[in-house]
Amino acid sequence: MIAAVKRIAGQREFKLAFVIALAFLVLTLVPCQNAYASIADDINSWLCDLLREWSNWMFHAQVSVLGSIGYEGILDAPFSSMLQSSSDVSMYDIARGTWQVAILPIGCGVLGLVFTLKLIEISQRMDGNQSMPGVKEVVFLLVFFAVFLFLIQNSFDIMAAIYEVIGLAVDRVEGLFGTGGAMSLAEVSIVTTEDDVSALMAMLVVSLISWLVVLVAYIVALVVCWARAIQLYIMAAFSPIPLAFLGFEHTRQIGIGYLKSFLAVCVAGLIILVLLISFPVVLGGIVSVNPGTGTPVDTIASGLTYALQYLAMCVLLVLSLVRSGAWARDIVSGF
């Protein structure tokens, strides 16, 4: 019997079966459920770190874009170089050439019409017994014509001078607070430190939406600044016509309305600069609005609340830039 056992134990097949059985018994002692739980935790942690990293990167990129808005040299640029050109002809040259060749003769013609109407009005008030007062009025009319002719012939430079006066205010504000390019904003980060996939997914969605709004704000800021420059050039080019209407009582409001409109466009540049300077300050203040109390739910809610407030501020910036022209008109209309 013992010999048979020794003979079986010495066989190669028995040894292989024994090793396989022993290995199986060892594997049965391994805590399989805990191993699976550890792998699941690792995957959850890796996914949360990835979502958090993506969200943080998007917020950091948004801060960089907002910081680059500034005023891009448009708001405080001289009147002759608000819009640069790669060729020898700029928008300033086009506007001034149009003013000189096309609009200035029309303005002089309108002034001649106004002069004729005032002369007819004076002649109707004259009679044979009031010749000297009539001559006095004619002399005043000639002085009036000379003054307004000077204004019309220099209307483009006068509009540029009005722009430079507002530009002086822009330069002083920029010198006091900067251009808005440097964002005084603390490091943007997800407030929650919990590995909550659902909360981080919501944060990622908010960061994507806010990223889109930031891009819209960037485009709107540039478009508003460029549109303002083009509008100033066009209004300066057509300035002789409304200035000619200033000399007649019945049409004087046309000229006054034009001057107010041109001044409002100039003031809009100062409003845009103030918005771009103040936005980082207001945006940095929302970091401490909803501090967490230490619990996971509070920290997750705080992070989402901060992201939504960040998004709301970006939307507010876009609306403010769009409304800057209307605000400027409201200010000037009170003059």
The string of DSSP codes covering 159-209 is HHHHHHHHHHHHHHHHHHH--S-S---PPP--S--S--HHHHHHHHHHHHH
3 state DSSP class of 289: coil
- Domain coverage including residue 261: 58-332
Angle at 185 (CA atoms; ends 179, 187), nearest 5 degrees: 140
Which residues lie closer than 8 Å to 181 by C-beta, 6 or more apart? 67, 68, 69, 70
Q: What distances in angstroms separate CA 60 from CA 5, 179, 187, 291, one per listed residue?
A: 75, 20, 8, 20
> pLDDT digits over 239-250, tens only?
999 999 887 788
The pLDDT of residue 300: 60
pTM of the model: 0.73
As a whole number, the mean pLDDT across the chain is: 76
Q: With CA atoms as reference, report the closest residue to 263 among 168, 153, 166.
A: 166
Mean pLDDT computed over 10-32? 53
In a domain, 32, yes or no: no
The more confidently predicted of residues 210 and 271 is 271
In a domain, 52, yes or no: no
Range scoring the smallest mean pLDDT among 56-70, 92-106, 121-135, 267-281? 121-135
In a domain, 51, yes or no: no
Domain count, the chain: 1
CA pair distance 207, 307, nearest whole angstrom:
7
CB burial of 251-276 (b: ≥16 within 10 Å; e: otherwise) equals beebbeebbebbbbbbbbbbbbbbbb
In a domain, 2, yes or no: no
The pLDDT of residue 155: 94
The pLDDT of residue 162: 94
In a domain, 16, yes or no: no
In a domain, 3, yes or no: no
Confidence of residue 30 (pLDDT cuts 50, 70, 90): very low
Please check whether residue 276 is in contact with residue 179, taking contact to mean a CB–CB distance below 8 angstroms: yes
> pLDDT digits over 47-87, tens only?
878 887 887 777 777 766 766 665 556 777 889 888 877 77
| Residue type, position 1, single letter | M
Q: With CA atoms as reference, report the closest residue to 277 among 83, 75, 56, 82.
A: 75
> pLDDT digits over 260-282, tens only?
999 999 999 899 888 888 877 77
Residue 290 has pLDDT above 50, yes or no: no
Q: With CA atoms as reference, report the closest residue to 284 among 203, 180, 175, 212.
A: 180
Mean pLDDT computed over 320-333? 90
The pLDDT of residue 136: 74
User: Could you give the residue ranges of the DSSP H alpha helices within the chain?
Assistant: 2-9, 12-28, 32-67, 91-98, 104-125, 131-153, 155-177, 197-237, 240-244, 252-285, 296-332
Range scoring the smallest mean pLDDT among 161-165, 173-177, 252-256? 173-177
The share of the chain scoring above pLDDT 90, in percent, equals 22
In a domain, 40, yes or no: no
CA pair distance 45, 35, nearest whole angstrom:
15
Which residues lie closer than 8 Å to 84 by C-beta, 6 or more apart? 90
CA pair distance 267, 253, nearest whole angstrom:
21
Q: With CA atoms as reference, report the closest residue to 77 among 179, 221, 216.
A: 179
3 state DSSP class of 74: coil
CA pair distance 211, 61, nearest whole angstrom:
8
In a domain, 14, yes or no: no
